[in-house]
């Protein structure tokens, strides 16, 4: 073990003596490489996929038009995955986001008859309320996030069907309404949903890495007991996590409804699982305490690109798509688990 | 993703009578709810107390009950199995492919497939260390796809007399599928209470670290638990297909994992593992089935059923947690 | 109870007649304590005496069942640690309660990060201020590194720095030196004296009586949840203090020692029943070798974080190794498998009985037989009859107090839970016992029983590896002592060389030896 001496030893300064004759706790070369790989893998794979797709399919894949489509279709998942990233870093999980998206879409269409403001505020309020209940049950009643958000999933889906008369009524948004601009408009060539997704990403990045709140989320996910003892308002922070996640899902639902000018209660099934997949693929630990929004974004894009590539092949049935998705998720998680084990000191 | 911070002793607070009562309700509440619901139906629902209706309810609860029994074991180890619906679909999709060789070839193959899915799940969880929710999530997605591939996405009708008999015949007035479910329940119950394997399951769920240090074969036990869950899911898929004489891979087992988890949790088996209530699981499955049936009979829409189910899950888990310290 | 009263200014924090019960077990019984500004007040007592519980009541982790807390002359009720902290009561816990995945700087400033004009965290300033703050306490470390990469001693110093760098009026320190080297201990003492000068009250919990006499002005002794002495340090001798802690006569303590360990064990023979050689694991252990003879108790001494538990687990197969070998009675043992270890005759009592010992929702009976299931199984089924026989035998032999064998083990007291775990081990009829903190967190009576039991078992020819953070236990209970530091064996002491000072010397020497090393 190498000696690790710092100047000031003679003045009785206590130095970091790891490595001075005993075990050195610092990350060795192997662990550092493993860490880099775990965090960077998703970008690598994304780059490979894009390059590979361009080579294999030429301009039908590598065109501005196609990338624009990928961006749009990924923007909704991005919004949801941002909220999911925060929740997972904080040590929890939110299974209700897919159903919340559907509920929000139905409410947006339903509320559009009263004007665009209602079309936006009603779904946000409803989703926020459900998120609040989730957060309170999890943070104050100490219930398991998995089961609470599972119940919310059922509840929200039920509510979506209830509002739309068991799926028999599909509310439509009239073409003239301002709210449709949110879903169908373009600014600088980019679809408005894409801009919202980018804005949410940037805001999320700042909040996660540069605010006390973000640090607190990392702390709670890393060690909730320690965070509590260090004086953090743990319950309040957790409640906010679930409210934010729900409202992001709600907003995504509004955008979907705006884009398709209708609110279908059947949407979003399995979306929460896709979001979890994107977050995990992006390098965020499912156990909490560490993660990155950039990774999540890359994960969402990767899923979008893969979907697109499968479509490019054309002959591959959507069933194989599912097999590939599932297998891919497993592969990524296995590699991640293996790498994170190597890093454990 | 545990929700019990401040890991101080489970010996906290004073045992008030109220807390006792709440804990009891969390454990046994499902029976009370079941009795109340049956009573309600006896009074307010027409044609409830007929043999025909009773039979119908039991027949409809069979798939969820069987899947829930396997799920109870998995949850007992503090795990979860989200892939059971897809496993059902795989079994259902395989049947028509092999019926040509006779039902007693097709059925074992379908069961084997279920076991294989469970083997993959168990391997990922026990040997690679992937979290159960993620591992079985992957199988959920991939498995449904595999089922669709096998069946070319089509619904297939089956014309096998043995299979039809299994699905629709009765012995002494009781449908065969119900008897199978009862048998499975009996076996699983016996295993949990009286065998070493059952003891290991609850120990692992109760304290994994302690189980390792006590020399229990933790990894092996975990794999077996997931294999059993897969086998039972396949069995449920087979019985469902036999009853309908048709295999529809898009719809078989859809969302059944949620129903199964609900039945298990409502029945008194905590998500944190360490305790398995077989009778409670059955009661939970029956309760959820009865709720749905009651709502239908009274012309209440499906959406209401979902919302009520959600409220019940929350109530059940909320009551359970009073047992464990905050 | 002796009370030496001396005039003092108004107490800053007072505990009055506080009682606390857990499921019928009395943890605190009408305890009163007063802290004055600028005073360093020692709180001593055996494990399980109630010290931790008292602190938790004072800081809002628990609420008292009876009595009240008075802070700055006002009665207060804190329902969570946050409230006590905000009021100015800062706590340093024995286990480092920081977030391992976060960096040193982030841990230091969690909840009070320096912000720039936009209200966002100023990372550059945070790192600078963190480094400066630690330097002012004499600690030099890269503040960007994740906390878990540092040695436990430095982690504890970071925790201490965090706790004292607020405007706290009261600082509570729970066994703060358990992971610190002598150099770091001196640094801590300087910090404490700085606090005194700032008129901060310090409540200092320790079982190292030297520290009490070096650092503290007042001392309070708890025993079995009750206050048995409070008064000036200058007015009591070490011997009387120990006697008060144990509830024994001072003369008897002087004659027979602090623990219930008896005289030397007669070794059956010189053959090694267990031999571990060159146990090595990156970042954890480096070439640790230990030999245990039949009927011998080998103590493993060292600071918290020195690798004692890891050594024990490595021998038992619960800690992965890069290199090394273990043999039992001369036969090599398959590493990495507790099952194999058990099969070869090794049984281990884990350090943390809550996390790795008891299965809380299972009954006493089910917990006792947990490791012996294979022997009780016939054709896959558990033999209830044999199970009951075994359980009854051990409940009797170890005097386990439970309402019935079916009682959930979580409801038992710490001492009885420990006995259940011991019973679990003994069911296996082992040749070697690895005991990691066997008397931690149990009452004085149970402690004496366990210590006598260890003597008994050694007398019957078992080999014992004994780990204890109470140095007296290691000194009085062992026939030989192996001293660890940072995962390396720094010394082995034979029967005649064993002594507290010698052990501490070996640990200190190891640090100094490097100081004189190559880079100077």
pLDDT of residue B7 exceeding 50: no
- Which residue from B300, B196, B234, B188 is spatially nearest to B63, judged by alpha carbons? B234
Evaluate whether C89 touches A229 at the Cβ level (below 8 Å): no
- Give the residue extent of every domain in chain A: 37-338
pLDDT of residue C55 exceeding 70: yes
The pLDDT score that the predictor gives to residue A184 is: 82
Chain B hits for A334, CB-CB cut-off 8 Å, are: 124, 128, 130
For testing contact with chain A, the best of B266, B314, B324 (most A CBs within 10 A): B314
**Under an 8 A CB cutoff, do A23 and C150 touch?**
no
What average pLDDT does this structure show over C474-485? Answer: 92
Chain C hits for A210, CB-CB cut-off 8 Å, are: 120-121, 123
**Under an 8 A CB cutoff, do A206 and C120 touch?**
yes
From residue A57, how far is each of A49, A53, A70, A73, B78 by CA, in Å? 12, 6, 15, 20, 46
How much is the ipTM here? 0.85
Nearest to A23 among C184, C286, C510 (CB): C286
Cβ atoms within 10 A of the Cβ of C403, count? 9
Summary mean pLDDT of chain B: 87
Label residue B10 by pLDDT band (50, 70, 90). very low
Nearest to C318 among B6, B11, B213 (CB): B213
pLDDT of residue B218 exceeding 50: yes
Label residue A1 by pLDDT band (50, 70, 90). very low
- A92 — contact with chain B (CB < 8 Å)? yes
Backbone angles phi, psi at B116, to 5 degrees: -65, -45
pLDDT of residue C163 exceeding 70: yes
**Under an 8 A CB cutoff, do B310 and A141 touch?**
no
What average pLDDT does this structure show over C244-258? Answer: 77
The pLDDT score that the predictor gives to residue B151 is: 85
Q: How many CB pairs under 8 A join A and C?
A: 152
**Under an 8 A CB cutoff, do B199 and C358 touch?**
no
pLDDT tens, residue by residue, B101-132:
989 999 999 999 999 999 999 999 999 988 89
- Which residue from A130, A73, A106, A71 is spatially nearest to A253, judged by alpha carbons? A106
- B210 — contact with chain C (CB < 8 Å)? yes
pLDDT of residue C89 exceeding 60: yes
pLDDT of residue B29 exceeding 90: no
The pLDDT score that the predictor gives to residue A248 is: 97
pLDDT of residue C515 exceeding 50: no
pLDDT of residue A19 exceeding 50: no
Chain B hits for A138, CB-CB cut-off 8 Å, are: 3
Evaluate whether A137 touches A144 at the Cβ level (below 8 Å): no
CB neighbours of A140 closer than 8 A, spacing ≥ 6? Answer: A235, A239
**Under an 8 A CB cutoff, do A325 and B141 touch?**
yes
What average pLDDT does this structure show over A43-53? Answer: 86
- C440 — contact with chain A (CB < 8 Å)? no
pLDDT tens, residue by residue, B222-274:
999 999 999 999 999 999 999 998 888 888 888 898 889 989 988 889 888 88
**Under an 8 A CB cutoff, do A330 and B321 touch?**
no
Chain B hits for C373, CB-CB cut-off 8 Å, are: 196, 199-200, 216
Nearest to B209 among C21, C355, C371 (CB): C355
Label residue C488 by pLDDT band (50, 70, 90). very high
The CATH number of the structural domain formed by A37-338 is 1.10.3470
Structure tokens given for A336? 């991640």
From residue B180, how far is each of B170, B235, B321, C380 by CA, in Å? 11, 10, 33, 23
What average pLDDT does this structure show over A92-121? Answer: 93
Question: What is d(CA B59, CA B259) in angstroms, rounded to the nearest whole number?
Answer: 16
Chain C hits for A229, CB-CB cut-off 8 Å, are: 81, 91, 93, 97
Burial letters for A56-90: b for 16+ Cβ neighbours within 10 Å, e otherwise? ebeeebeeeebbeebbbebbbbbbbbbbbbbbbbb
Cβ atoms within 10 A of the Cβ of A174, count? 11
**Under an 8 A CB cutoff, do B214 and C341 touch?**
no
Nearest to B213 among C21, C350, C373 (CB): C350
The pLDDT score that the predictor gives to residue B326 is: 30
Touching C (3+ Cβ pairs <8 A), the chains are: A, B
- A146 — contact with chain B (CB < 8 Å)? yes
CB neighbours of A12 closer than 8 A, spacing ≥ 6? Answer: C138, C183, C186, C187
> In degrees to the nearest 10, what's the CA dihedral of C297, C302, C303, C305?
-90
Give me the residue label for tokens 């299994």.
B166
Question: What is d(CA C123, CA C130) in angstroms, rounded to the nearest whole number?
Answer: 10
For testing contact with chain B, the best of A92, A158, A219, A338 (most B CBs within 10 A): A158
**Under an 8 A CB cutoff, do A319 and B304 touch?**
no
> Which residues 187-216 of C are in CB contact (within 8 Å) with A?
187
- Distance between C369 CA and the closest CA of chain B, angstroms: 10
- According to DSSP, the residues that pair with C204 across neighbouring strands are C42, C173
Label residue A23 by pLDDT band (50, 70, 90). low
From residue B138, how far is each of A146, A326, B114, B134 by CA, in Å? 17, 4, 15, 6
H or E stretch at C136 = helix C123-136
- Which residue from C439, C26, C360 is spatially nearest to C225, judged by alpha carbons? C26
- According to DSSP, the residues that pair with C172 across neighbouring strands are C91, C203
Give me the residue label for tokens 């006002």.
C74
pLDDT tens, residue by residue, A265-320:
989 888 888 898 899 888 888 888 999 999 999 999 998 988 888 778 776 666 77
Percent of chain C with pLDDT over 90: 51
Question: What is d(CA B284, CA B265) in angstroms, rounded to the nearest whole number?
Answer: 8
pLDDT of residue C101 exceeding 70: yes
What average pLDDT does this structure show over C109-113? Answer: 90
What average pLDDT does this structure show over C484-494? Answer: 91
Cα angle B134, B210, C336 (rounded to 5 degrees) comes to 80
The pLDDT score that the predictor gives to residue C12 is: 92
The pLDDT score that the predictor gives to residue B270 is: 86
Q: Of the CATH numbers 1.10.1760, 1.10.1740, 1.10.3470, 1.10.287, which one belongs to the domain with range B32-319?
A: 1.10.3470
> Which residues 94-113 of C are in CB contact (within 8 Å) with A?
97-102, 106, 110-113
Summary mean pLDDT of chain A: 84
pLDDT tens, residue by residue, C7-27:
557 899 999 999 998 876 788
- Distance between A109 CA and the closest CA of chain B, angstroms: 18
pLDDT of residue C254 exceeding 80: no
Touching A (3+ Cβ pairs <8 A), the chains are: B, C
- Give the residue extent of every domain in chain B: 32-319
- Please, what's the largest Cα pairwise distance for chain C? 75
Secondary structure (H, E, C), A277-302: HHHHHCCCCCCCCCCCHHHHHHHHHH
- Which residue from C154, C10, C150 is spatially nearest to C74, judged by alpha carbons? C10
Question: What is d(CA B176, CA B163) in angstroms, rounded to the nearest whole number?
Answer: 11
Least confident of B261-275, B291-305, C135-149: B291-305
Evaluate whether C418 touches C448 at the Cβ level (below 8 Å): no
Secondary structure (H, E, C), C342-411: HHHCEEEECCCHHHHCCCCCCEHHHHHCHHHHHHHEECCEECHHHHHHHHHHHHHHHCCCCCCCCCEHHH
Chain B hits for C339, CB-CB cut-off 8 Å, are: 215-217
Q: Which of A164-173, B254-263, C88-97, C340-349 has the highest mean pLDDT?
A: C340-349
Least confident of A50-54, A105-109, B9-13, C386-390: B9-13
Percent of chain C with pLDDT over 70: 95
Nearest to C139 among A14, A21, A219 (CB): A14
Question: What is d(CA C378, CA C331) in angstroms, rounded to the nearest whole number?
Answer: 29
**Under an 8 A CB cutoff, do B206 and C362 touch?**
yes
> Which residues 192-231 of A are in CB contact (within 8 Å) with B?
224-225, 228
Structure tokens given for A229? 């003892």
pLDDT tens, residue by residue, C334-390:
999 999 999 999 999 999 888 899 999 899 999 999 999 998 998 889 999 999 999
Question: What is d(CA A201, CA A203) in angstroms, rounded to the nearest whole number?
Answer: 6
> Which residues 273-312 of A are in CB contact (within 8 Å) with B?
273, 276-277, 280, 286-288
DSSP letter string, A230-260: TT--HHHHHHHHHHHHHHHHHHHHHHHHHHH
The pLDDT score that the predictor gives to residue C25 is: 75
Question: What is d(CA A237, CA C264) in angstroms, rounded to the nearest whole number?
Answer: 57
Chain B hits for A141, CB-CB cut-off 8 Å, are: 318, 321
- B275 — contact with chain C (CB < 8 Å)? yes
Question: What is d(CA A67, CA A64) in angstroms, rounded to the nearest whole number?
Answer: 5
Residues C405, C409, C414, C417, CA torsion sign: positive
Whole-prediction pTM value? 0.85
**Under an 8 A CB cutoff, do B313 and A158 touch?**
no
Question: What is d(CA B113, CA B122) in angstroms, rounded to the nearest whole number?
Answer: 14
pLDDT of residue C217 exceeding 90: yes
What angle in degrees, to the nearest 10, is found between the helix axes of A212-222 and A192-210? Answer: 70
**Under an 8 A CB cutoff, do A26 and C187 touch?**
no
Minimal Cα distance from B205: which residue of C? C359
Q: How many CB pairs under 8 A join B and C?
A: 99
Structure tokens given for B289? 């089935």
């Amino acid at each position: 073990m190498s000696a690790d001496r710092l100047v000031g030893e003679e003045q009785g300064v206590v130095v970091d003596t790891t490595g001075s004759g005993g075990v050195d706790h610092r990350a060795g070369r192997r662990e550092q490489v493993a860490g880099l790989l775990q965090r960077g893998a998703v970008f690598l794979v994304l780059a490979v996929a894009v390059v590979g797709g361009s080579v294999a399919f030429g301009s039908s894949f590598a065109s501005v038009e196609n990338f624009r489509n990928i961006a749009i279709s990924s923007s909704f998942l991005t919004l949801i995955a941002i909220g999911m990233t925060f929740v997972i870093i904080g040590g929890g999980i939110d299974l209700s986001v897919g159903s919340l998206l559907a509920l929000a879409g139905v409410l947006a269409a339903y509320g559009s008859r009263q004007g665009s403001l209602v079309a936006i505020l009603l779904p946000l309020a409803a989703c926020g309320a459900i998120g609040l209940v989730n957060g309170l049950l999890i943070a104050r009643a100490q219930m398991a996030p998995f089961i609470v958000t599972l119940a919310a999933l059922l509840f929200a889906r039920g509510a979506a069907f209830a509002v739309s008369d068991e799926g028999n009524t599909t509310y439509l948004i009239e073409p003239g309404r301002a709210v449709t601009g949110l879903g169908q408009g373009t600014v600088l060539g980019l679809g408005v949903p894409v801009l919202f997704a980018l804005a949410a990403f940037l805001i999320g990045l700042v909040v996660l890495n540069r605010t006390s709140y973000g640090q607190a989320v990392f702390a709670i996910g890393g060690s909730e007991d320690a965070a509590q003892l260090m004086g953090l308002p743990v319950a309040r922070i957790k409640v906010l996590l679930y409210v934010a996640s729900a409202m992001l899902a709600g907003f995504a639902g509004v955008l979907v409804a705006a884009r398709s000018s209708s609110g279908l209660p059947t949407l979003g099934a399995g979306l929460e699982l896709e979001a979890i997949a994107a977050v995990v693929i992006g390098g965020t630990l499912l156990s909490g305490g560490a993660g990155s929004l950039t990774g999540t974004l890359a994960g969402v894009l990767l899923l979008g690109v893969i979907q697109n590539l499968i479509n490019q092949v054309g002959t591959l049935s959507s069933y194989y798509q599912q097999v590939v998705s599932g297998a891919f998720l497993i592969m990524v998680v296995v590699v991640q688990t293996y790498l994170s084990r190597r890093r454990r000191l | 993703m545990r929700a019990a911070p401040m890991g101080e002793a489970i010996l906290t607070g004073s045992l008030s009578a109220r807390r006792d009562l709440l804990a009891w309700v969390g454990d046994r509440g499902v029976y009370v709810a079941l009795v109340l619901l049956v009573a309600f139906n006896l009074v307010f629902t027409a044609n409830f107390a007929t043999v025909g209706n009773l039979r119908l309810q039991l027949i409809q609860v069979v798939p969820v009950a069987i899947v829930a029994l396997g799920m109870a074991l998995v949850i007992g180890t503090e795990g979860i199995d989200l892939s059971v619906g897809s496993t059902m679909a795989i079994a259902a999709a395989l049947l028509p492919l092999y019926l040509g060789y006779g039902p007693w070839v097709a059925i074992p193959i379908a069961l084997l497939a279920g076991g294989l899915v469970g083997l993959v799940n168990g391997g990922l969880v026990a040997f690679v260390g992937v979290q159960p929710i993620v591992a079985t999530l992957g199988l959920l997605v991939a498995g449904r796809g595999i089922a669709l591939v096998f069946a070319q996405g089509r619904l297939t009708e089956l014309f096998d007399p043995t299979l039809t008999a299994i699905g629709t015949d009765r012995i002494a007035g009781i449908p065969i599928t119900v008897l199978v479910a009862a048998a499975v329940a009996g076996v699983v119950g016996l295993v949990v209470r009286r065998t070493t394997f059952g003891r290991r399951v609850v120990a692992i769920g109760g304290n994994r670290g302690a189980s390792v240090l006590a020399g229990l074969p933790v990894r092996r036990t975990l794999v077996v638990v997931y294999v059993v869950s897969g086998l039972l899911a396949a069995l449920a898929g087979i019985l469902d297909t036999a009853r309908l004489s048709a295999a529809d891979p898009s719809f078989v087992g859809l969302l059944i994992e949620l129903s199964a988890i609900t039945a298990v949790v409502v029945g008194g088996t905590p998500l944190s593992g360490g305790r398995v209530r077989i009778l409670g699981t059955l009661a939970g499955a029956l309760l959820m089935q009865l709720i749905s049936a009651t709502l239908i009979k009274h012309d209440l829409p499906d959406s209401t059923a979902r919302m009520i189910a959600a409220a019940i899950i929350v109530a059940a888990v909320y009551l359970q947690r009073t047992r464990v310290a905050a | 109870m002796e009370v030496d009263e001396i005039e003092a200014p108004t107490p800053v924090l007072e505990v009055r007649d506080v009682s606390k019960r857990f499921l019928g077990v009395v943890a605190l019984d009408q305890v009163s304590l007063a802290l004055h500004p600028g005073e360093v007040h020692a709180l001593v007592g055996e494990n399980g005496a109630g010290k931790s519980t008292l602190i938790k009541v004072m800081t809002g982790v628990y609420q008292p069942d009876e009595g009240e807390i008075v802070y700055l002359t006002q009665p207060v009720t804190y329902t969570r640690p946050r409230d006590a902290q905000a009021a100015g009561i800062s706590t340093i816990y024995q286990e480092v309660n920081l977030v391992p995945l976060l960096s040193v700087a982030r841990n230091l400033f969690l909840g009070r990060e320096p912000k720039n004009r936009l209200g966002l965290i100023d990372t550059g300033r945070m790192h600078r201020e963190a480094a400066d703050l630690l330097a002012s306490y004499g600690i030099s470390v890269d503040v960007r590194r994740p906390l878990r990469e540092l040695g436990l001693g430095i982690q504890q110093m970071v925790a201490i720095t965090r706790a004292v760098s607020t405007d706290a009026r009261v600082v509570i320190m729970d066994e703060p030196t358990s992971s610190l080297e002598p150099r770091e201990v001196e640094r801590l003492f300087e910090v404490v004296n700085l606090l005194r000068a700032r008129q901060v009250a310090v409540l200092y919990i320790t079982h190292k009586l030297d520290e009490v006499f070096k650092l503290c002005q007042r001392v309070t002794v708890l025993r079995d949840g009750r206050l048995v002495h409070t008064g000036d340090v200058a007015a009591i001798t070490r011997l009387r203090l120990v006697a008060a802690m144990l509830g024994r006569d001072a003369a008897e303590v002087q004659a027979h020692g602090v623990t219930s360990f008896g005289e030397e064990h007669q070794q059956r023979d010189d053959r090694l029943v267990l031999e571990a050689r060159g146990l090595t694991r990156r970042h954890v252990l480096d070439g640790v070798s230990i030999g245990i003879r039949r009927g011998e108790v080998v103590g493993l001494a060292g600071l918290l974080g020195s690798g004692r538990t890891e050594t024990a687990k490595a021998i038992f197969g619960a800690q992965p190794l890069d290199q090394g070998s273990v043999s039992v009675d001369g036969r090599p043992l398959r590493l990495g498998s507790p099952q194999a270890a058990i099969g070869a005759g090794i049984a281990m009592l884990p350090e943390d009985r809550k996390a790795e010992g008891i299965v809380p929702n299972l009954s006493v009976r089910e917990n006792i037989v947990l490791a012996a299931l294979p022997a009780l199984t016939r054709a896959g089924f558990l033999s209830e009859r044999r199970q009951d026989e075994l359980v009854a035998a051990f409940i009797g032999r170890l005097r386990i107090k439970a309402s019935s064998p079916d009682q959930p083990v979580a409801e038992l007291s710490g001492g009885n839970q420990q006995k259940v775990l011991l019973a679990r081990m003994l069911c296996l009829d082992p040749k070697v016992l690895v005991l990691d903190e066997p008397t931690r967190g149990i009452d004085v009576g149970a402690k004496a029983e366990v210590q006598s039991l260890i003597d008994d078992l050694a007398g019957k020819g078992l080999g014992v590896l004994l780990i204890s953070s109470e140095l007296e236990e290691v000194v009085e209970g062992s026939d030989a002592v192996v001293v660890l530091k940072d995962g390396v064996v720094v010394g082995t002491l034979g029967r005649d060389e064993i002594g507290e000072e010698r052990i501490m010397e070996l640990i200190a020497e190891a640090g100094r030896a490097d100081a004189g090393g190559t880079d100077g």
